[in-house]
Structure 1
């Protein structure tokens, strides 16, 4: 059984945290100290990394006023956006005292901590840190901005700052007793029997007691030259644009150099280039920026959220701009209702700013009717923004149906669960392309931390290969579970109601965008994510508690990761979520790269435990 509160994986910059039982997840949502006090880390938009907390404490002690807290951002534009958000959503009758401070930390010497607001060095020679100070009691409001936008500084950014302002203070690392590492590194020679599912399924061993970094951190070191980051970002943009005929790190042979060859894009629009790809520190920040871009170039109107989305997408559309029309089922009936709304709109005002959807949706894996939505957008002159994170571009080509495509690179594109990232692609075939490109390039302020880019580039080199393995594993597991569900055998007495997976949910719309495959490209699969619902909450809990894999937030990891999704994402609004088909007992599973027979054995044991609840 995984250890409650341990990092997943057990590295300093892990993006998930172990919540191994159903009760643990409920207690986490309720703020129970039993859970909260054990947590080494958490998903970075929800849990502020301890390195960032430490840096914020230093900033508050040096530049804060009595009773103030602060949030840390990499750019002035973002800090000002946080300030504006807090002022706009401050509900108290008295004014909110809030201010920003720019802290330039010299890279070549110890900083003068008393001159943060009037530094003498140029920005090029400094770490540029932007702080928003506010009354401590307003922290929950500031945290909303941090969570919804994903624009706060990264933990690696914070570690760099800490190495300059507090070099004598060690960086936060997971406890060695909770950590697991891959074999083959000379630092990790201690042998023992691992009791962590991630370690056990991969045959990893426990590390030595003097662990202070992971093999990946050691490989790259803590100080990367600027050139490495620039090359990594360029390669990432080309990889995401689909223009790499030969990836510089793909299939290298002894004696060969890293030569990069580019050609027409494989994203479904041939003239996409790396200049149409924009990097962001998280997938949610890409969505927030796409919405801000739409607000800047289109006539003012409400946006449309089509289908039940990941929670913060809807919050962004509701809290910024004129508001949002929510078509939360994402079915043909919702498409009919959307069309009726558009037809009834006054002819002298734009009915919609932009339509946002996921392909497929999270957690119901429902694919929207993109061709119909595109036709409506052309007729009524609004933008379409598609989040392809779950489908991913190794499996689906959605760019032909969108003006902008956003993606959470944190997920399967990275796979290693050790770095955040996001991207936005502008479609050169869009009628709005020139307007969007001009507006975005005029205001785009690169804020993706270079060291994060280097890790993401390294992780994503074998992206397509990993996706192919994960797709096959997920399809095998879903086929196996569905054969044992009430969908296939209504009279079997099974406790499994439904498997939510693109192969079984709106496949006619998913298949429109599936990659057809070629001599050098696998045909698209159905992705690694699925959800399962049960006939009782007791069955859901038994299945989840027995499932012998890592359990925590996030998806797209190279290892199988599960969570009681509705509990984690909608605990304060369970009835509302259920009204759109997202049941309280829904279990979401992101399938990894483990051996297939190992996975099937694991799911058989979990299903057996769930089925046993029917006999009680």
Structure 2
């Protein structure tokens, strides 16, 4: 009987996400937004209404979430003057930092702070029993003239300390308001029915307190002023945009479903969620984490028999996002220097970094030295900088670097940097977000380690978070710990911590899958690139593949965990450059994965990184090797066949475009 050949089932490809929709799709607190074509990204940067008019959301530090915008509009209506705008901050300390930042501009920007405490009342659309004692929201409203919006937005973006979208939705619920974009109100329990519009309330549950001496606020306008709806960090387009149309659930109902039928801890267990996160970050995997039962399974900072102290939970601090952790790492270094009565020196940004890291070092303190090559090439320049300090010049305060860097995936020479830090006494701050501590161990080289938990630690792209570790073996540990003890406050919103704890339980398994996928994808792309000299170059349009396997591998090996998790252990992020922008555009427009800002997602995510992060400084970025046409890819957990189809079709389209450019 002849054999029957059974055809393989067709591969089901994910549906494209429309322009402006959240990434992931239909996610209330998504951290990315779909920009599916090269032209869409340029339109976003230039404020093209075709693009910004369709954006439902965006990366939270650049695009202020709709619910935060709605809450800000209500605050402006209650406390603002017609010529003012505001940003919403979580604590008096953060608000004071924002006010000081504005006051240090040239010329100084005047501002005022209003504290607004919002408690549930008879008009609340939320059952307060689910909050576990969190019965009020305390907002700090930093108000300033509309003309100075760019400065207020800069503080929001760089510090990462603005309120989160879940906090905004909770405050809106206390005020009897739905989240921004909600179109349906679910049935309200009888005891929470809204009273008749003219019925007086028995007690005013919302009050404010001005925290600085300012004239009384003028009479509240009869209608709220149109809020500034931020669409892009590089321009100020005041045109409002269409609301989110897919949002139908209140935040409380969503939370109930997650807790009742999902895997979330109840909200009243947020302190336990934070403890679990700190233990996970310190290196101990809880017994429920994928069967990795040993607490010292990925112990940090103390190899077997090394005699060094391991990182403990008390050495780990949580922040609202990764950039907040970076901003506060710098603040810790500055505070430690001040405690000793010494002048604060400049810092060093070593290697081409994520844009806001450099901006922080430039805009706070006395400034910084930028050594953009990174790797080992800039070690002589760093040594000269340290050796040539003038007698009246304060010593270097700190050195910030990424391991590896974003977007060129270059790793600094941590061994040599550690030697120089021991000699000259500066603080080493290493951002391990791209490497992640399953793949690399940087604690032994750094004084402070920061990471964006928003990325692969979470994976689900629906919550922000950041972490900071003080290395207990650092020669500066006691100074840094004392400074941190004085200035740290926990502003990580409890509900975000609960979601982050849930998301991160399986992060080790996800990292293995991502490592495997990225290794295979970059291997395929490298063989189709001009960098591969073992194959003919004719028709190739990929110039370079930036991945730790190919970029400064000897430096990456200094901190690489062995044996690696999965293939190579090089992480899921890489970048590629092309022989022409036409080829870059064709590749990006063709690839079938999700497209938008951020990285470390469980799904593959592409971005024309330089266009999106450095559109107003493209020549400067290019001078440091970050080309305009660079495409950055964060590889996810898709099946190999799906990834193969995506990248083969994208490379073919790029090569076709390259032939058109060459006139073939």
TM-score by length of 2: 0.81
Q: Secondary structure at the match of 2:514?
A: helix
Q: Secondary structure at the match of 1:332?
A: coil
Partners of 1:235 and 1:457 within 8 A in 2: yes
Distance 1:226 1:264 in 2: 29
Structure whose CA Rg is larger: 2
Distance 2:246 2:149 in 1: 37
CA shift, 1:512, in A, is: 1.4
Aligned equivalent of 2:276, options 223, 235, 242: 235
Q: Which residue of 2 aligns with 1:98?
A: 111
Aligned equivalent of 2:181, options 167, 172, 185: 172
What's the RMSD between the two structures over aligned residues?
2.4
State whether structure 2 residue 168 is matched by structure 1 residue 158. yes
For residues 308-347 of structure 1, what are the structure 2 equivalents within 5 Å? Answer: 308-346=352-390
Q: Relative to structure 2, which stretch is displaced further, 445-454 or 484-493? A: 484-493
CA deviations over 1:491-519 (Å, ceiling 9, x no partner): 3331010000000000001011111139x
Aligned equivalent of 1:288, options 317, 322, 327: 327
Q: Which residue of 1 aligns with 2:646?
A: 602
Name the CA shift for 1:209/1:544 in 2 (closer, same or farther; >3 Å): closer
Partners of 1:516 and 1:524 within 8 A in 2: no
CA deviations over 1:283-324 (Å, ceiling 9, x no partner): 000000000111111241000000000000000000000100
Name the CA shift for 1:264/1:15 in 2 (closer, same or farther; >3 Å): closer
State whether structure 2 residue 468 is matched by structure 1 residue 455. no
Partners of 2:182 and 2:247 within 8 A in 1: no
For residues 436-475 of structure 1, what are the structure 2 equivalents within 5 Å? Answer: 436-475=480-519
CA shift, 1:442, in A, is: 1.8
Distance 2:641 2:566 in 1: 23
Q: Which residue of 2 aligns with 1:132?
A: 142
Q: Which residue of 2 aligns with 1:498?
A: 544
CA shift, 1:87, in A, is: 1.3
CA deviations over 1:431-475 (Å, ceiling 9, x no partner): 111111111022211100000000000000000000000010001
Q: Which residue of 1 aligns with 2:103?
A: 87
Distance 2:439 2:78 in 1: 50
CA shift, 1:264, in A, is: 7.9
Note the residue ranges of structure 1 that are not aligned, 5 or more in a row: 112-122, 176-207, 253-259
Alignment size in residue pairs = 559
Q: Which residue of 2 aligns with 1:141?
A: 151
CA deviations over 1:109-144 (Å, ceiling 9, x no partner): 569xxxxxxxxxxx9752111110111121111000
State whether structure 2 residue 500 is matched by structure 1 residue 487. no
Q: Secondary structure at the match of 2:366?
A: coil
Distance 1:306 1:446 in 2: 29
Partners of 2:403 and 2:411 within 8 A in 1: yes
Q: Secondary structure at the match of 2:167?
A: helix
Q: Which residue of 2 aligns with 1:7?
A: 22
Partners of 1:389 and 1:407 within 8 A in 2: yes
Distance 2:282 2:566 in 1: 18
Distance 2:619 2:598 in 1: 23
Name the CA shift for 1:225/1:468 in 2 (closer, same or farther; >3 Å): closer
Q: Which residue of 2 aligns with 1:117?
A: none
Aligned equivalent of 2:52, options 36, 53, 59: 36
CA shift, 1:209, in A, is: 8.5
For residues 41-60 of structure 1, what are the structure 2 equivalents within 5 Å? Answer: 41-60=57-76
Name the CA shift for 1:572/1:210 in 2 (closer, same or farther; >3 Å): closer
Q: Relative to structure 2, which stretch is displaced further, 260-269 or 332-341? A: 260-269
Distance 1:163 1:399 in 2: 42
Partners of 1:395 and 1:523 within 8 A in 2: no
Aligned equivalent of 2:300, options 264, 267, 273: 267
CA shift, 1:333, in A, is: 2.5
CA deviations over 1:354-397 (Å, ceiling 9, x no partner): 00000000000000000000101111110100000000001000
Partners of 1:108 and 1:125 within 8 A in 2: no
Q: Secondary structure at the match of 2:377?
A: helix
Partners of 2:37 and 2:588 within 8 A in 1: yes
Q: Relative to structure 2, which stretch is displaced further, 286-295 or 217-226? A: 217-226
Distance 2:87 2:420 in 1: 41
Q: Secondary structure at the match of 2:550?
A: coil
Q: Secondary structure at the match of 1:325?
A: strand
State whether structure 2 residue 449 is matched by structure 1 residue 434. no
Q: Which residue of 2 aligns with 1:182?
A: none
Note the residue ranges of structure 2 that are not aligned, 5 or more in a row: 1-15, 125-132, 185-244, 303-308
Name the CA shift for 1:573/1:170 in 2 (closer, same or farther; >3 Å): closer
Name the CA shift for 1:369/1:210 in 2 (closer, same or farther; >3 Å): closer
TM-score by length of 1: 0.87
Q: Secondary structure at the match of 1:85?
A: helix
CA deviations over 1:408-449 (Å, ceiling 9, x no partner): 000000000000000000000001111111110222111000
Aligned equivalent of 1:304, options 322, 329, 348: 348
Partners of 2:459 and 2:602 within 8 A in 1: yes
CA shift, 1:597, in A, is: 1.8
Distance 1:377 1:346 in 2: 18
For residues 315-464 of structure 1, what are the structure 2 equivalents within 5 Å? Answer: 315-346=359-390, 349-464=393-508
CA deviations over 1:528-573 (Å, ceiling 9, x no partner): 0000000011100000000111000000000000010000000000
